[in-house]
Every structure is written in C-alpha cells, then in structure tokens.
A and B are shown apart, each in its own frame.
Chain A
Amino acid sequence: MTRVRFVLAMAWRESRAARRRLLLFASAISIGVAALVAISSFTANLETAVRREARALLGADLALASSRPFTPPVQRLIDSAGQAGIAVTGRITFSSMAYVPRIPDRSRLADVRAVGRGFPFYGDVVTKPADRWRMLDTGRVAIVDTSLLVSLGARIGDSLVLGNSRFLIAATVVEVPGRLAGGVNSFGSQVYIPERYARETGLIVFGSRVSYSALLKFDRPSDARRFADRHGRQLRTERVRVQTAEETESDITSALDNMESFLQFVGLIALLLGGIGVASGVTAFLAGKLETIAVLRCLGARRPLIFAIYLTQAVVLGLIAAAFGSALGAGVQLVLPHLLKGLLPLDVRVTLEPMILLAGVGIGVGVSVLFALRPLLEVRLVSPLQAIRKAYETDQALPRDPWRLAALGLLAAGVLALCMGRNEDPRVGLSFAASIAASVLILTGTARLAVGAARRATTRRRVRERWPYVLRQGLANLHRPRNQTRAVVTALGFGVGLLAALYLVQANLLRQVSFTTARTAGRPNLVFIDIQPDQADGVQRTIREAGDPVLQAVPMVPMRITEVNGRGVQRLRTDSAARRPASWTLRREYRSTWRDTMVGSETLVQGAWWHGRGEGVRDSAGTMVFPLSLSTDVASDLHVGIGDRITWDVQGQPVVTRVVVLREVDWRRFEPNFFAVFSTAALEHAPCMWVVLTRVDDAGRRALLQRAIAERFSNVIAYDVALIQQTVERIFKKVAIAVRFMASFSLITGGLVLLGAVAAGRLQRIREGALLKALGATRRQLSRILLTEYLALGALSALVGVGLATLGAWAFVHWVLTLDFTLPVLSIGAVFVGTAALVAVVGLTASREVFRRTAMEVLRDI
C-alpha cells in the first residue's frame, strides 16, 4: 500500500464516528461560500445587464439635457444633426398634479415625461393592454404608472387632467427603458404624454423644474463619442449635459459599486465566520483524538504522516462543504433579484457562471484549510507517552513553535488576499481586511476578557460561598478547559452585531425622514410649490377658506453666482486648490428668498441682520450693493466671510451683494431653507415663485385641499409629507430586506458555530452530566446549570454584538451621515434578550442527550 493510499484510508476510517459532527462544523463554511457565490454571481449578472442595457437605459446613443430650453445655437446643432441623417427625438420632464374629473376628492403628484416620436430608440416598452405605446405618436393620450391609477381610483379610458390639458388614459406602463433614470423627482408616479402637448398643459412656467432632453441615435456608438468630443465644450458652456451610452454604463456601474462592496463585505464576513467555525470544530474534534494519535505514534507513525491524515480530513470536508455551499449559492442568487426589484434600474437575468461556482469551491476549501491549519498543527505535539499515561507532564516549556507562527501568518495572508481579490480597488480591499481584523480583535478580546471574568468570579470566595451551586457551575463552564466561548462569542457576536448595526442605521435614517415635523402639531405637513406671484394670494385664500392655517408663504428667486470679490466664475474654477471654491457652489442654481428676520430653523453665527427693507448702498464705483446673509456651509465652501462681495445673475440682471450675516441652518426641518437670504429691496421686483406651507391633520381633508388647489391653480405642485415619508420608508424597507437577507447569512453561520461548539463538547457534557446524576444531581439542577451557561453565553454574544453595532452605527451616522445618533433602547433591548434566549434554546436542545441518558448507561460507556 502506498503512503498516499494509507493516508486516505486512515483519514476515511478515522472520521467514521464523527462524520455528521464534522459536517456540522463544515456547514458553516457552506453558508459562507453560498453567500459569496450568490453575491458574485449576482454582481456578474448585474454587470452583464448594465452592459447589455446601457443604450436602452439612455434610450439613445447620446442624450443632451438641460434645465432650460435649448438655446438657439444648441437647437441649431441638434437640427443640423437631424439633417445629417442622425435620428433625433426629444423628451421634456416636469412635475404636475394629476387628477381624474370623475373622482371628486383625489389628486396625485405626477412625474410627467413628454416624449417625442420614436422615443425610445433602444429597449422595449411593454404596456398593458399590449402595444399601445405608439398611440403617443398620434393621439392625445397618456400612458401611466399603475400606481397612479390605484391612487386616483382611475381606470384605463378615464380622462386625466394635467395642468390645463386633458388626456385619455390609454394604457399602463409595465416596462420602459430608463424608468428610474433621469426623473425630476422620484416621488411622483410616471406619466408619459406626447411631447407636442407639453406646452399647452401650462405647466412649463417660470420657476418650474423642467428638464429638456434631445436624444440622438447614431449608426455606430463611436459616432456618438466623436459627436460628444467635438461639441462637448460648446454644449457645456450652454449648460447642456452630454451623456453617451458608455457613460451611462459607467455611471450605473459606479452607483452599484457601493452596494456590491457592501454585499461582498457581508459575504466575506459570513465566510470568515465559517472559517472560525471550522477552526473551533477542528480543535474540539482533535481534543477527542489525543489518545488515538498517541497510539498511532506508539505504533510508529511519524508526525508528518499523522498531520497528513488529519489535514486530508480537513481538505475533504472543506471540499464537500464548499461544493454544497456553491450549489446553495447558485440557488440563493435566484432570490436576490426579487429582493432588489424596484431598486435596480434594469432587469437582471440570472445565469449560472461555472467559473464563479468553481471559484467558490476553491475559496471554500482554501478558507477551511487556512483556518484548520493552526489547530491541526497541534497533532504534531502529541507525545506517544500519552498512550500509556493520561496526565503527561513535560519538563520543558513549549518552545515558540515556528510552524504555528507560520500558520498564523498564512491565515492572515490568506484573508488579506481574499479581501484584495474580491475588490477591484486595493484600498477598499485593504480597508475590508482592516475592518475584519479590528472586529475580530475586538470580539475575541472581549470574549477573552469575559472568560477571564467568569474564572475570577467563580473562584472568588464570596461567590463560592453565596452563589447557588447551579449558577456557579454554569458560569464555570464558560472558562473550563476545551470551552468554546471565544469561538461562539466571536461568530455570534459578529452576526448579531452586523444585523443590529444595519437596524440602527436604518432606524436613525428613518427617524430623520419622518422629519419630526410631520408628527409634531403646528409643523407643516403639506407644501405647495411653483406658485406664480399672481397666484400667491389665491392659494393662501383657498387654504384659509378650507379652514386650514397658512404657516409660511415664502417667495423664491432662482439665480446663479457670477463673481466672488470681483473674480468671475471661470477664473475661480482655475484658482489654486486652496482658494478654489467647491465646484457645487459655482455650478448650482440657487433658489433664494428675501426677508428681514431669521426663522426658527436658523441661528445667527456672525454679523447683524439689516433693518427694514435693507436698502442698497452705492460703492465708490457707483454700483448698488445689497446686504446678504449666507448659510455657514455654503460660505465655507465658497471661502467667503463677512464683508466679501458676491455678484448674482438673477434672470439676466446682475445683483451685487456684500455678506453681512452668517447663519447656521438646520436643514433637517422640512421647511423652505435657503443658502442665501437677500434683503427685500434687493429682490422684491425679481421674477419669483412662492412656496406656501400648511398643516392639515386629517388625511381626507388634506386630499380635498390638494384637489381644490390643483383644479384652481393647475401649475401648482403639492408635496404631501406623509406620502413622501411612505415612499422613502418603502425604499428603505426594500434596501433593508435585501441587506438583512445577506446579513442573516452571518447570523446562520454564528448559529452553526454555536451548534458545532455544543456538539464538540457533547461527550464531555454527557459524562459530566452522568457523573453529576450519579452524585445526586436532579435533571432540574442539570438543566439549570446548562441554562445558566447558555444564557450567559448568549448574553455575552449579544452584549458584544450590540456594543460593536452601536459603536459602528454611531460612527456611521455621526461621521458619514452627519446626523444625530439616537439608540432605540427598546428594540436593541429586544435584540439582546432575543439573542440570549435563542442561544439558550439552541444550547439546551442540542444538549438534550445529557438529560435523556441515565447515569449507569453512561458510566458503563466510559
């Protein structure tokens, strides 16, 4: 028999009694591999879909978009492209209130897309009833989101009022390219109408937020690129955004990158937790094999041979577990697109990628072996003397084993390689590895402290004398030899921590979205915008006639910055990095207001507010300069302070201002807040629109008021805070479900590690239980000892997990989201109690043999 055959045969025979237990240890790896394979496959499918549908997402090879009508030079450029044989169509997007005359008390915010003939050039439109899309070319029809019909109580065939026009609802839209891309606002339901009727709705008026697009279809994609290169500069100076299908692809890819990174991270964690499970399983398994190994050594087996036998077991086990995990992952990836439906801008077709499945198996085996290596090395240190005497004392301290250090190094290198390999950006890979290392260090460190605390507590005299026996024994179990406390706390703590952290971030975000206002009496919950100056009084009167208060009525003037301290925007953009203002401050269209006081959401930081109308003062050159108040954030990004001079382009008129007040703004309040506040004298004659805020508590009356305003002032848009909140919550829920689904993998792994740990100590437990029974312990006492142990273990895991989660979530909420962090004590308490209870139930269930077997039966077995 050759050496290899002997090793294989021994590995196989030696695993006999423990195969089920070994598979349990290894199943943790399966879950990790499944998570990784599912995520990788899904990511690959997503990338394929983005590549495939990039043109369809844009609907064209090239799109030109602007927030104002195309200027004559731009229009000439588009026309000449059309004359050169390039297919051109258009799209105008704007908001409108929509309602159906037949239903008296409902109206809904709609996201109107007025599309030209031939739209879209790419991608399929599916309507219900089928094939009605082309009716847009000939009829006065609207094709709408199903959600609009539902919220209006309308049906196909009804007439839909948008502004001053009526359209026949011809169909609902099931699928349309670019559905989620390029919307002016994502809160409204989408309505498609023919482009030629856009103007007559009367909705495109001063101040309304409109996006104009021209869509071009070229014979070759490279032509689109060339067109963009040749005319990009000119178009950009005309404030036209140019986007090719390729850019759309990379935009979407980078938008999805964060999600992918996160999912990858979760998958890696699950896999590494599986590795911890394997390591603790192997340790426990080998602990029961010491005598066998000693006998084999007596019989003349050399150390490398014994190591090879157990390494073979680990490899085969890893292979089985990883193959199973890969298959499971292939199944799980079928679920992911459903969970993420509505969040993804395109349909993801699920295909199986053999390479990913294979890589999953390879990674699974690699992780199993890497984690098993260190405990496996211990078999080399088993002395043959242990076969003839159990308690074997050695006269020399164990030397620093270079192999063990090498195994640790290999493990660290493996984890690092895995992190780097799963991420294209090496920095992300490094930060993955660093966060994993930090988390594992914190978790194992805490577990170590806890084990030490349990040891000290149970050996303390006061405890020994006063605490009941079952409590002491249960706690002592946490630190006794061969305990699995560290593995369980690390794995479960991580799972619980990840889920709790997600929950905390979500809860904090949702709390912000609920705007506190919506639930606090006296704060606005209904906002009317895009009110023309001549409509302002009428809207307010309508609100008051309905018996509701006008909480605020604020004018808004759109404007841009042209100069700061005499330097033009172009020059400012090329300033040295230290002096250059943040680009958003120069690019954006400001919507500013005028007033003579501060409002509740503002705090004075520096300067003094002007009196009365705040008349302008002529400077030495004879220019009229008006006082201005800036919010601190825009002032710091613009690098300006009190006394600095800013020139604005207000609808073609230059308005020169000097900063006299800096104020801090609480942007979280759902109220009109402004970067720049002018004096009355500066803006009162500028073209403006109004925003009016009210509060109507009753939902039915709120709907009636919106409908009344929509009928009387067709261009006025209403934002119902409650509805926005619902929409945001719905999106969050979607994200949360997907994220929790993936995070649950680590929790399952944690559970498996727990099961494995219980199984590993099974024989020892049964013997101890039998001995305790023989010495007179009742089953009740036994169960209490075990209950104490598992409750303590669960509480410890939960404590560590929740602690880590709170820390992580706080850091994320505070530094990344820059919001105030609050701890939902009740829910987190529930997580804590739930985890402890779950661990107790799993532990007791897995230990039921301890109660079932009689003392005699077990003692005979010994």
Chain B
Amino acid sequence: MLVATNLTKSYLSGGQPLTVLKEVSLEVEPGGFLAVVGPSGCGKTTLLGLLAGLDVPTSGRVQLDGQDLGALGEDARAQLRAEKVGFVFQSFQLIPTLTAQENVQVPIELRGHRHAARTGKDGESAADRARELLARVGLQGREHHYPAQLSGGEQQRVAIARAFANEPRILFADEPTGNLDAATGARVIELLTQLNRELGTTLVLVTHDPALAQRAAKVLYLHDGAAVTPSAPRPAAS
C-alpha cells in the first residue's frame, strides 16, 4: 500500500543545510497499521508530510497505492489525496467558518465533483453521507455546530469523520490525541482503530506516546531523522 525508499529531506536553515530525515525506508501492507514514534523534533511530521505527498523529498521515493509520488505534480498529488488519503491532525484543523457537517462534506464534495463529472450522477448526497459519518462518531444532533462550539474531543471526532468521508485507502494521523486528555484520547484511538478494522483502511499514526504505538501492528522508531529499528515486535526504549 505504502512503500518509502531511502527518504531524505534537507532544509536550508539560516543558510546552512539541515538534514531532518536521513535515508528512511518503510513499507505498510494494505489494511495495515504503522505507528511512527519518536521524541519532538526527530522528523516525524516531516516524514508524514512526505508520505502523504504534502512535500517532496530531497532524495528517495514514495509509492502510494502503486503510484510513484515523485512522478506526480502538485495538483496530481492533490487529486490523489482527494481520492485515496485521509488526514487527522493534532490541532484538529477544522475549517472554523464551516459547520461540523460542512467540514465533513468538503472531501466528499472535492472528490464528488470529479466523480460526478465522470459518472454523471451524484449518488448519495454529500449531506446525507456527512450526517451518517457524524452519527458513527457519536455526534448526532451536533451537525450544525461550528468548531468553536465543540469541545476538543468532539472536534477531533468531527476530524475523524471528515478523514473517513471519502473512504480513503490510507489515513494519516498526526498526534491525534496530542491536544486531548487521556480518556478522550483513548476514545479517539478506539474510533480510529475500529474504522481501520471495519473499513480495511491503512492507518499511519505519528505519536510520541509509546503506549499508543503499542496498538499498532508495526512501529517505526525515529531518532534525529533516522530510523532506529525499522521494524520490531516490541520497543525496548523506555
């Protein structure tokens, strides 16, 4: 599903080249669950950006669902994301001017206008689908609330509903519990893994929480931009 080979990323920082990711390689099966773990500043978010095609590597290759991201332009990568990728962010990143339902609708509509153009029909309406997804994350009756009117946990559940809205083949979650208390965080993870199981969605989770990483089938440890152990059954780190 997702294959990365020798990913390296350097930035110019104050005129000096700074390598934040060094030769990282990984592979995730369809329906698999990979956790990327490491301390702050180890390059987790950079890796996620590269894997999702938000950014391009300085060297190395990413293949997503059989497609080489390096061969695609920015807008082609955007189209790929619209069709196959979902996101959950640490700071939820709901669009503040849209209601919960409208936020969930965005990916459906983004993909929908291309689908509709191809198939000539809309199928199930985006609004119906969004309501259904919100119900699944336990937010019936909150469809018309704006993000500012929802608690952090509720906002993250809206974000999860949005992430699954276009039935992505792969879901990237960037510290999804980072801004939540332990109990709420646990429920959010429960929701993610449940959807992962039910829909067969490949899950890539970035976290600094080793306990959370334990739930993944596969764990990648990053330290100073390098993979410490590509794949190990259990972490030995504290």
Interface residues of A (CB under 8 A from B): 1-3, 5-6, 9-10, 13-18, 291-292, 294-305, 383-385, 387-389, 393-395
Contacts and interface: CB of A to CB of B under 8 A. Distances in A.
B96 interface: yes
A16 B162 CA distance: 20
B93 interface: yes
Interface in B213-236: none
B96 A299 contact: no
Interface in B76-131: 78-83, 85, 87, 89-90, 93-98, 102, 106-107, 109-113, 116-117, 122, 126
Interface stretch (B7-15, B30-38, B188-196): B7-15
Given A13-B97, A387-B93, A296 B106 contact: yes
A1 B112 contact: yes
A304 B54 contact: no
Contact of B45 (A5, A300, A304, A388): A388
A300 B85 contact: yes
B54 A299 contact: no
A295 B102 CA distance: 14
Most buried by B among A292, A297, A300: A300
B117 to A, nearest CB: 7
Given A296-B110, A300-B110, 9 more contacts: A1-B113, A2-B116, A10-B106, A10-B109, A296-B95, A384-B81, A385-B49, A388-B54, A393-B12
15 contacts: A1-B116, A2-B117, A6-B113, A15-B97, A291-B93, A295-B93, A295-B94, A296-B95, A297-B78, A301-B106, A385-B54, A387-B54, A387-B89, A393-B11, A395-B11
B48 interface: yes
A2 B174 contact: no
Contacts of B112: 1, 6
A202 B89 CA distance: 102
B74 interface: yes
B98 to A, nearest CB: 5
Nearest to A5: B113
A17 B117 contact: no
B27 interface: no
A791 to B, nearest CB: 34
Contacts of B97: 13-18, 292
Contacts of A304: 75
B169 to A, nearest CB: 13
A588 B46 CA distance: 88
A6 B116 CA distance: 12
B111 A1 contact: no
B143 interface: no
Interface in B1-26: 10-13
B113 A2 contact: yes
B82 A300 contact: yes
Nearest to B108: A1
B55 interface: yes
B171 interface: no
Given A303-B75, A393-B13, A395-B10, A295 B95 contact: yes
Contacts of A17: 96-97
Contacts, number: 110
B99 to A, nearest CB: 8
Nearest to B165: A299
Contact of B81 (A5, A292, A300, A305): A300
B122 A300 contact: no
A383 B55 contact: yes
Interface residues of B, number: 44
B52 A298 contact: yes
B113 A299 contact: no
Nearest to A386: B54
B19 to A, nearest CB: 11
A608 B192 CA distance: 109
Contacts of B49: 384-385, 388-389
Nearest to B122: A1
A395 B12 contact: yes
B93 A300 contact: no
A299 B45 contact: no
A382 to B, nearest CB: 11
B107 A299 contact: yes
Contacts of B74: 303
A298 B74 CA distance: 11
Given A1-B112, A395-B11, A301 B82 contact: yes
A300 B111 contact: yes
A297 B78 CA distance: 7
A297 B106 CA distance: 11
Contact of A301 (B13, B89, B110, B122): B110
A296 B109 CA distance: 11
Given A292-B96, A292-B97, A388-B48, A302 B75 contact: yes
B80 A1 contact: no
Most buried by A among B78, B79, B126, B166: B78
Interface string B41-83: 0000100110010110010000000000000001100111111
Contacts of A6: 109-110, 112-113
Contacts of B111: 300
Contact of B78 (A16, A291, A300, A387): A300
A291 B107 CA distance: 16
Nearest to A303: B75
Nearest to B55: A385
B79 A300 contact: yes
Nearest to B17: A395
B118 to A, nearest CB: 12
Contacts of A9: 109
Contacts of B81: 298-300, 384
B114 to A, nearest CB: 8
Nearest to B175: A388
Nearest to B115: A1
B54 A300 contact: no
A13 B102 contact: yes
A344 to B, nearest CB: 51
Nearest to B44: A388
A13 B98 contact: yes
Most buried by A among B95, B113, B126: B95
A299 B79 contact: no
B50 to A, nearest CB: 10
**Which 8 residue pairs across A and B have the least CB separation, nearest first?**
A300-B82, A300-B81, A384-B54, A302-B75, A16-B97, A3-B113, A302-B78, A295-B93
Contacts of A297: 54, 78
A305 B110 CA distance: 9
A383 B95 contact: no
Contacts of A296: 95, 106, 110
A294 B81 CA distance: 13
B32 to A, nearest CB: 22
Contacts of B116: 1-2
A300 B80 contact: yes
Most buried by B among A1, A14, A292: A1
Given A298-B54, A303-B75, A395-B10, A389 B117 contact: no
Contacts of B10: 395
Contacts of A292: 95-97
B226 to A, nearest CB: 19
B95 A1 contact: no
Contacts of A301: 78, 82, 106, 110
Contacts of B110: 6, 296, 299-301, 305
B65 to A, nearest CB: 14
Contacts of B109: 1, 6, 9-10
